[in-house]
Structure 1
Amino acid sequence: MSSRTSSHFSGHSRTVSNRIAVFAMDAAERAGVSPQLFTTRTGISPQELVDRSGRIDAARHRRVVELMAHVGVSSRAMPDLPHMLFPDFPVLGNLCLNARTLREALESYQTFRPLIGEFDFLGYRETPEHAQFEYIAEFAPASGFQALSNFQVLASLIRAYDGLEQTVFRVSLMGPAVPGANDIGEYFGAAVRYSADANRLQFASALLDAPLVHYNATLAPFLRQQAQHELLRIQRGHRFSYSVEHLISEIIRDPGEEGYASSSLLAQTCQRLNTSRWTLHRRLQSEGLHFTELESRVRYKEACRLLSETTLSLGHISEQLGFSSQSAFTRFFRTRHDVPPLAFRQRAQLG
């Protein structure tokens, strides 16, 4: 394995899976932060977390990390599911849990870790006695809680290749001990060292080349191909169009005193991106999209949010979203949902 892997890719804006934001929101709620406050602090709406393939841009991911560093994270927020994050990332999980050896599984994890997020660094070093990962965070690097989450995932994967599941990990974390420190020590099999100079996870290198008894050689190349296709989709799919969609959402939520119309929305978007309409349309077309499609998508998401989270009248919502009338808004909503706006609101209020 390489000495250091980075989640950076050149030539596009980096993103992280919205599943990370879901985990963070759940942990923040356990720490006393309401979902509404989480949305306000991070700029991530509940609707954006519904699409399991959705991605979050760098600016809002940073807000999530900084919020979590501020409120503190308890070890009791650890998922109880076996193999940690993999149920939410089945493409990555299938590949990593069907390798000939643990060494190959860890190499696959490092290569395709961007399926989870394209941030931070995960370094690797090996001696005849020990294998060691070092985690370097881009945002809130001194807190240690991001390293803890990554080390839990790695430990879960490593133990999947240890038939006895008794692997002991030596873990060092930057920052002070988190609530439930004893639970963390029990999880890793040894006490965790805090206020360290780096975030490190160490285990016996003898485990690296132990074979996986249930390895499926026929299935393995197909799983890797699937992971490669998914990584390519992320690199190509959630890029310029994602930035445009997020910008449209910002303008619609805060249109200014004069409000907005479709024509002014396009003009404002181009102005903020410092690009021409022709360039904007060309770049969106290269991703198989059109500006009006993104606008409709954002208006629908915002409509769902306003109907679910506010008591604004339909007339007010239709005006805020730039529709010519309430009936026009209702027709728009019905083309994208099986019920009219009021019925949707009633369902949302019933949970």
Structure 2
Amino acid sequence: MNDSKTVSNIVSRSMFSFLQQHDVPAALIHRRTGITPYELTQSDTRISAAQHYRLMILVEEKREFLFSDYQPDLALADIFRCWGTLSSLLTNSSSLRQGVENYLKYRPIIGQTDHIQVYENDEQLMLEYLNSGPEILSASLASPLGNFTILAELIGHYDRQTYASIQVTLKGISANARQSQQLSSLLGFSCQMGAARNTLTFSKQHIDQPYDFYNHKLFETIQKAADSEINTIISNATPLTQEVKNCLRAHYQNPTVHQPNPANEITLICQKMSIPRWTLQRKLLHEGQNFTELAQQTKMEEACRLLQQRNLTLSAISERLGFSSQAAFSRFFRNKMNTSPLRYRNGLATYDKA
């Protein structure tokens, strides 16, 4: 599994909310997925593929509620609300074809943990959703349905006649004709459940018809912003950045080798990675990163994880993370989370009782 693949934490927050609505305690979700509350609450944070897959497995355990909770009309609205640059690009393309192509190209802004394959003949275009995760998710419902709903709304934005031609198949779901009919009614287009593949097919009759409201200059501006977001995601997932974060996590998780002085952290990491300090800083800068920010982010994530372990005192956590005192740790934590470590821990206790 490629650790460099990530998903926007906006997706994780949505899945987290769904699980809590159906009586899954927050503490259990954190424990099962390894996703910390800090990772969920920070803006512009990405969740690793491994964590995302574990969260998807939890969602699949509640799949019977997916239909009752599903609101397909909110698909594009959610993209506008959460990913403004992406939504602006998708709805201001020169044609339906370009709109679909842009969705496929810029989907990594939402997540990189799956794939959509395109097939085309003279009359139709077919998009097949392919799961890139563990085999247990091969029959996942949430991800293909979510992607197809966005694509369907995008198709409808450009041409309602083409929208009426949409046909969706969903694999691995045991369903009778009545259930397929219910889902079709909910979505507004034909949907066959229990198929061999996850596909969305639609007519190409109007796929290249120019979009009347297309603004080329605006498109170029938005595209540059979208390219910048993609480049940031790629740079944040580079092997060096990931390796530094992994070394920092190991450093914080092994108190027997921990040195209380944070100034020693970069020296220790350089020794572990066998790389000169200046070279490490230069390469991180080239990737749009710096060691201090990486260390603080990793330390914050580890602090949230350790606070879930109620046998650890705040003093012990402070020492493990290299703070000179518990007060220094509390100041750091409050600055990042707008609450004290103790209140944060008490909040987790409330979740435990849920």
TM-score normalised according to structure 2 size = 0.78
Q: 1:63 aligns with which of 32, 35, 54?
A: 54
Residue 131 (structure 2) pairs with residue 137 (structure 1)? yes
What pairs with 1:98-137 in structure 2 (closer than 5 Å)? 98-137=92-131
Q: What corresponds to 2:151 in structure 1?
A: 154
The amino acid of 2:201's aligned partner reads: Q
Aligned pairs, how many? 338
Q: What corresponds to 1:5 in structure 2?
A: none
How far has the Cα of 1:81 moved from its partner? 2.2
Indicate if the aligned counterparts of 2:63 and 2:141 stay in contact, CA closer than 8 A: no
The amino acid of 2:124's aligned partner reads: H
CA distance in 2, matches of 1:341, 1:39: 17
What pairs with 1:188-199 in structure 2 (closer than 5 Å)? 188-199=187-198
Report the aligned-residue RMSD.
Answer: 3.8
The amino acid of 2:63's aligned partner reads: G
The amino acid of 1:83's aligned partner reads: L
CA distance in 2, matches of 1:209, 1:337: 49
Distance change >3 Å, CA 251–CA 75, structure 1 → 2: farther
Distance change >3 Å, CA 157–CA 247, structure 1 → 2: farther
How far has the Cα of 1:241 moved from its partner? 2.2
> For 2:201, what is the secondary structure of its paired residue?
strand
How far has the Cα of 1:259 moved from its partner? 6.7
How far has the Cα of 1:154 moved from its partner? 0.6
1:83-102, Cα deviation, whole Å (9 max, x unpaired): 15422121111111001211
Indicate if the aligned counterparts of 1:75 and 1:183 stay in contact, CA closer than 8 A: no
How far has the Cα of 1:119 moved from its partner? 2.7
Indicate if the aligned counterparts of 2:162 and 2:206 stay in contact, CA closer than 8 A: no
> For 2:192, what is the secondary structure of its paired residue?
coil
- Larger displacement relative to structure 2 (109-118 or 340-349): 340-349
How far has the Cα of 1:56 moved from its partner? 1.8
Distance change >3 Å, CA 345–CA 199, structure 1 → 2: closer
Q: What corresponds to 2:70 in structure 1?
A: 78
The amino acid of 2:103's aligned partner reads: Y
Distance change >3 Å, CA 77–CA 335, structure 1 → 2: closer
- Larger displacement relative to structure 2 (127-136 or 334-343): 334-343
Q: 2:258 aligns with which of 260, 264, 267?
A: 260
> For 1:218, what is the secondary structure of its paired residue?
helix
> For 1:192, what is the secondary structure of its paired residue?
strand
**Structure 2: stretches of 5+ with no match in the other structure:** none
Indicate if the aligned counterparts of 2:139 and 2:173 stay in contact, CA closer than 8 A: no
Indicate if the aligned counterparts of 1:75 and 1:178 stay in contact, CA closer than 8 A: no
Indicate if the aligned counterparts of 1:122 and 1:134 stay in contact, CA closer than 8 A: yes
Indicate if the aligned counterparts of 2:169 and 2:192 stay in contact, CA closer than 8 A: yes
How far has the Cα of 1:51 moved from its partner? 2.9
How far has the Cα of 1:345 moved from its partner? 7.6
How far has the Cα of 1:106 moved from its partner? 0.8
Distance change >3 Å, CA 319–CA 339, structure 1 → 2: same
The amino acid of 1:109's aligned partner reads: Y
Q: Percent of aligned pairs with the same residue?
A: 31
> For 2:105, what is the secondary structure of its paired residue?
helix
1:125-144, Cα deviation, whole Å (9 max, x unpaired): 22333221111111222334
Indicate if the aligned counterparts of 1:72 and 1:178 stay in contact, CA closer than 8 A: no
CA distance in 1, matches of 2:77, 2:298: 32
Indicate if the aligned counterparts of 2:34 and 2:51 stay in contact, CA closer than 8 A: yes
1:71-91, Cα deviation, whole Å (9 max, x unpaired): 426123435525154221211
Q: What corresponds to 2:90 in structure 1?
A: 96
> For 1:121, what is the secondary structure of its paired residue?
strand
Distance change >3 Å, CA 241–CA 214, structure 1 → 2: same
CA distance in 1, matches of 2:90, 2:106: 9
CA distance in 1, matches of 2:339, 2:60: 41
Indicate if the aligned counterparts of 2:164 and 2:189 stay in contact, CA closer than 8 A: no
> For 2:12, what is the secondary structure of its paired residue?
helix
TM-score normalised according to structure 1 size = 0.79
What pairs with 1:198-277 in structure 2 (closer than 5 Å)? 198-239=197-238, 240-245=240-245, 248-249=248-249, 251-252=251-252, 254-255=253-254, 258=256, 260-261=258-259, 262=262, 275-277=273-275
Q: What corresponds to 2:286 in structure 1?
A: 286
Indicate if the aligned counterparts of 2:155 and 2:163 stay in contact, CA closer than 8 A: no
Indicate if the aligned counterparts of 1:170 and 1:188 stay in contact, CA closer than 8 A: no
**Structure 1: stretches of 5+ with no match in the other structure:** 1-7
CA distance in 2, matches of 1:336, 1:44: 17
- Larger displacement relative to structure 2 (201-210 or 106-115): 201-210
